[in-house]
Structure 1
Amino acid sequence: MSDAPSTQPLQADATEASRYSGARIIAVTSGKGGVGKTFVSANLAAALARRGKRVLVLDADLGLANLDVVLNLHPKLTLHDVFTGKARLEEAVVAAPGGFSVLLAGSGMIEYSRLTQDVRNQFYHAVQKLAPYFDVILLDTGAGISEVVLFSISLASEVVVVATPEPTSLTDAYAAIKVLAMQQKRQHVRMIVNQAARPGDGRAITGQLQQVIDRFVMTDSGRPLRLIHMGDIPADPAVREAIMRRQLLQLLTPGCPAALAISQLANKMVETLLARAA
């Protein structure tokens, strides 16, 4: 496996992920903040780990990381320490509740708000070195379409966009998907609709978004980008309780509707994405 060349663009195309061996790299992202992206990443990791998968969640929100808050972790070492040479990569990977591993970024690191060549190379090599030790790496990216977010996504073979039914969330999700099609040459993007009010809402929303994409977004192949509906997570008061208690929903109330929906998402991921990676 060759090193990343110094001329590698800030946003690589979707084939970039083919350089990795081992783990299936999946970016979990969103057009806007506040839609539950990190909550989904953490609980999906726990559900996958329960199915026997070796899972790492890498906090790719280098500027405003909050995975540690969701998991109630207080690590002594983070990705920042690795980047600054204060720790080895393997020392910064820690066990999380739920049976998976995490690599936390540390929060408020303003120096990562812009992606320098050095940070890009270090981040690339971190993912490259970790990939052989896991079945799946979930990149919990920041929200939006900043260069840090887009570079993180470019390292993944698959992209999952988390959105809610709110118009602002869907508008921003469309904007992010359009950039992924135009800049990263993505042929498909997967959708999870969080806080769905009724069964079937997410599939209907994905279909409506697909209609807009069919009209206005074209890929290099000449065909519109395809949205793949992975599933819905229903609005559930147990989610807020888990967040306030800084515990995984999969551990606190595994039988609640939202936890069961995440389990179904994990099953679907194992049967499709991870089955092909095996």
Structure 2
Amino acid sequence: MPIESQTMSAAPSLPPAAPAAPAGPAAAVSAGSAGARIIAVTSGKGGVGKTFVSANLAAALARTGQRVLVLDADLGLANLDVMLNLHPKTTLHDVFTGKARLEDAVMTTPGGFDALLAGSGMAEYSRLTPEVRSQFLSVIEALTPRYDLLLLDTGAGISDLVLFSVSLACEVLIVATPEPTSLTDAYAAIKVLAMQQKRQHVRMVINQATRPGDGRAITGQLQQVLDRFISTESGHPMRLIHMGDIPSDPSVRDAVMRRHLLLLQTPGCPAALAIAQLANKIETTLLVPAA
């Protein structure tokens, strides 16, 4: 596999590190202890289907009775509204500027979950200023008592805003495709999460898998690279948890082009069934109430 030749002999070089964000688990406890579990859906590279996964995963979990909200945490290049064919009159930008209440910005989607949409093209919110940091954290703290699950649909990469969003989550779900560039960037993101946020594990979903078993093999190969190059604060390698594969499926492109949720448009297609399996795995392993 191409990533082996790129990374098994030497770890990929990384861009300069962004300013350190709070350690993920510690920040997540303070943000999410009163209610919802917070899962960040992120990726090393853009264009891998991260928002598609977030939206359809939310719909699948809502079907099981979970109270779910998806927050578009890509504050500068938001596109969750496009994916869901929503036309919000009020966005997170209006909440941040004091023009609207948080309650007015939360929308109910056709998938049965709520969404908090961000305005696109807001350059002032593409950087993690102290004001954005404070406002974003206040929104998260206000939302957690109302839901069982918050999905943070972050931007791609390792910017300070992405890392801060991820730091608020108790779990991280990295979406990647089998393409070498996607896997190399996923490795870079995982490395930063291990070193800056002291994460002990992250969860992986391989989108656009071409053959059954591809995702597990890819996750295993990435794990070998991490075992060789990356150690966590505990001295153990960062652990990758393979959560599932979403197969390459023409129904996905059709749903995205129509701006429909795949789970509503073609619920029996292979990709939709895979997302339903992913939702079931998340519900049974991450959302089970503590005894």
Do both share a fold (TM > 0.5)?
A: yes
- 1:135 aligned to 123, 131, 148, which one? 148
Q: Which deviations, in whole Å up to 9, do the C-alpha atoms of 1:137-160 show, x marking residues without a partner?
A: 000000000000000000000000
Report the TM-score when normalising by structure 1.
0.96
User: Deviation above 6 Å: which 4+ runs of structure 1?
Assistant: none
- 1:246 aligned to 259, 272, 287, which one? 259
- The aligned residue for residue 213 of structure 1 is 226
Q: Which deviations, in whole Å up to 9, do the C-alpha atoms of 1:160-193 show, x marking residues without a partner?
A: 0000000000000000000000000000000000
- 1:106 deviates by 1.1
- The aligned residue for residue 12 of structure 1 is 22
- 1:94 aligned to 107, 112, 129, which one? 107
- 2:191 aligned to 156, 172, 178, which one? 178
- 1:276 deviates by 4.3
In 1, Cα distance between equivalents of 2:21 and 2:93: 21
Segments of structure 1 that go 5 or more residues without pairing to the other structure are: 1-8
Q: Which amino acid aligns with 1:17?
A: A
1:31-46, aligned counterparts within 5 Å?
31-46=44-59
Q: Which deviations, in whole Å up to 9, do the C-alpha atoms of 1:191-231 show, x marking residues without a partner?
A: 00000001100000000000000001110000000000000
Q: Is the 8 A contact 1:163 1:191 kept in 2?
A: yes
Q: Which amino acid aligns with 1:139?
A: L
- 1:97 deviates by 1.1
Work out the percentage of aligned pairs sharing the same amino acid: 76
Q: Is the 8 A contact 2:42 2:153 kept in 1?
A: yes
Structure 2 CA distance for partners of 1:277 and 1:162, relative to 1, 3 Å: farther
Describe the SS at the equivalent of 2:103. helix
In 1, Cα distance between equivalents of 2:284 and 2:104: 32
1:1-278, aligned counterparts within 5 Å?
11-14=21-24, 15-19=26-30, 20=32, 21-276=34-289
In 2, Cα distance between equivalents of 1:139 and 1:168: 23
- 1:90 deviates by 1.0
In 2, Cα distance between equivalents of 1:148 and 1:277: 31
Q: Is the 8 A contact 1:218 1:224 kept in 2?
A: yes
Q: Is the 8 A contact 2:20 2:196 kept in 1?
A: no
Describe the SS at the equivalent of 1:272. helix
In 1, Cα distance between equivalents of 2:195 and 2:70: 27
In 1, Cα distance between equivalents of 2:113 and 2:144: 14
Q: Is the 8 A contact 1:28 1:161 kept in 2?
A: yes
- 1:258 deviates by 0.0
- 1:10 deviates by 5.6
- The aligned residue for residue 3 of structure 1 is none
Size of the aligned set, in residue pairs, is 270
The Cα RMSD (Å) is: 1.0
